[in-house]
Structure 1
Amino acid sequence: MDKSLSDKANFHSLPEVLQVKIFSYLPMKDTFSVCLVCKQWNTIIMNTESLWKMRCHTLPVSVQRRIMDDKAQGHNWKETFKMNYGKNGIKRMWDFGLFSNPASYDELPQGMFSNMDPDSWGQVFQMEFDRA
């Protein structure tokens, strides 16, 4: 490829809507890493509601109703995603009783709890004690 073509054909020259679409295919942990690459990418990712909306729609079906409730309460898509993703989402679902009193380990969603740190588990167990 000649120098003049490579100068013109780069990610930054793509329309922002196309950049957002590309970012939407990244796994969540990689999305946060990409935010560190440059200020433009950070701004695009952190401030594009359509990207966070897409992310919300990839969350488990069990939280979709809460996502709609959060939106109805006036939360933006990014806030809604943060409240329902990862350990925050797990604690929130547990608080709503979705995982309370499982009869066996098999009743819990597989792989979902691997990102839980000891403090988060302590909060979950405290919720369970308070519920009893």
Structure 2
Amino acid sequence: MDFIDVLPPEMICNILLNLDSRSMCSMSESCKILHDMVETDWLWMKLCSNHCDTSNQLFLSDRSQGLSWKETYIRNVGCNLIRRKWKHGLFSNITCYEDLPSQVFCQMDRETWGEILELELTR
């Protein structure tokens, strides 16, 4: 017997909420029940409320454009959010290192940095 058959859905959701998104998506590939649970808007909405700044203008823009909760989460967490903030000029008027907020850097390829620098030159 599988743990999926024994545990109530609420408990499985709690387990999923304690995983990072990559692990959660990997688990969703293991069986149809987990896949269906991972694809629910409720789960991604809960992840957004736990891990995203829901008052952030980029987050609000994604929701107003009709993006799903999953798409909104992916775009507004970790390196994806940092890249978007750089591209939208949210770090443009920094005068010294001390003015930089925490978590402004992540691993980005040279094309992304080139794109950011071009955008900065046009601002």
- Are 2:18 and 1:25 aligned? yes
Residue by residue, what CA displacement relative to the aligned partner does 1:24-62 show, whole Å, maximum 9, x if unpaired? 1112343344344444423322x111121122221246x
Residue in structure 1 matched with residue 67 of structure 2 by the alignment: 75
CA displacement at 1:92 relative to structure 2: 2.1
Q: 1:56-99: per-residue Cα shift (whole Å, max 9, x none)?
A: 221246x6333233222322211212222333322322233211
TM-score (norm 1): 0.69
CA contact (8 A) 1:86 1:115 kept: no
Unmatched 5+ residue regions in structure 2? none
Work out the CA distance in 1 between the residues paired with 2:15 and 2:44. 13
Query: Do residues 113 (structure 1) and 94 (structure 2) align?
Result: no
CA contact (8 A) 1:71 1:80 kept: yes
TM-superposed deviation, 1:17: 3.3
Structure 1 residues 3-38: Cα deviation after superposition (integer angstroms, max 9, x where no partner): xxxx47x24432333312221111234334434444
Which stretch of structure 1 is more off in the superposition, 110-119 or 22-31? 110-119
Stretches of structure 1 lacking an aligned partner (at least 5 in a row): 1-6
The residue number in structure 1 matching 2:119 is: 127
- 2:91 maps to 99
Whether the 8 Å CA contact 2:53–2:59 is kept in 1: the answer is no
Counterparts of 1:102 and 1:51 in 2: how far apart (Å)? 36
Distance 1:71 1:121 in 2: 27
What TM-score does the superposition give when structure 2 sets the normalisation length?
Answer: 0.73
Report the number of matched residues. Answer: 122
What amino acid sits opposite 2:112 in the alignment? Answer: S
Query: Which stretches of structure 1, 4 residues or more, deviate above 6 A after TM superposition?
Result: none
Aligned twin of 2:78: 86
**Is the radius of gyration larger for structure 1 or structure 2?**
1
1:14 maps to: 7
Which residue in the other structure is 1:44 paired with?
A: 37
Alpha carbons 2:92, 2:120 under 8 Å: kept: yes
Question: What letter is aligned with 2:12?
Answer: Q
Q: In angstroms, what is the RMSD of aligned CA positions?
A: 2.7
